[in-house]
Amino acid sequence: MKQRINFGKVQPGAYDAMEALDAFVEHSSISKEFRELIKIRASQINGCSYCTDAHSHDALKLNIPLQKVLLVSAWREAANVFSEEEKLLFIITEEVTLIHMHGLTDETYHKAIAVFGEALTVQIIMAIIAINAWNRIGVATQLHPSVRNKSMQLN
């Protein structure tokens, strides 16, 4: 399958805007591990194979256990593998990613504020918004995992 338009080459300003959003998230108080879990879950929901692959590998580089990376899509069924904070991150990620369904529910919002506080909750939502935007670029331009990643060992 041929890759479609390259945003960075055709409209560098659009790519720069995305990079600015990424920089905000990168400098936020969200742990690197939590950022990668958010990115993996949103990318799975959006069907972005490129981002799912990339962020799964990034998670492994951060020493997130392989079991967690493999079970992100089945986190409810494997709930004992994830912390209460991680499960809340997944709920927020799913509700914001699937915003058209019922939005960020009051229950989830209030729990997020209680667990993470206002500032971190805003940062988490911005991280979800950022990866959702990247997923839409990846899916719209038909980005796919590289052959290089297919040959990597997961040990």
For the chain, first and last CA: distance in Å? Answer: 30
pLDDT at 154: 38
pLDDT tens digits, one per residue of 116-138 = 999 999 999 999 999 999 999 99
Q: Which of 72, 102, 98 is nearest to 87 (CA)?
A: 72
Q: Which domains, ranges and CATH numbers included, belong to the chain?
A: 11-147 (1.20.1290.10)
Task: Please state, in angstroms and rounded to a whole number, the distance separating the CA atoms of residues 131 and 87.
Answer: 18
pLDDT at 1: 60
pLDDT at 7: 81
pLDDT tens digits, one per residue of 21-30 = 999 999 999 9
Instruction: Give 94: exposed, middle or buried? Use CB within 10 Å, 0-12, 13-18, 19+.
Output: buried
pLDDT at 52: 97
pLDDT at 115: 98
Instruction: Identify the segments of the chain with pLDDT beneath 50.
Output: 147-155
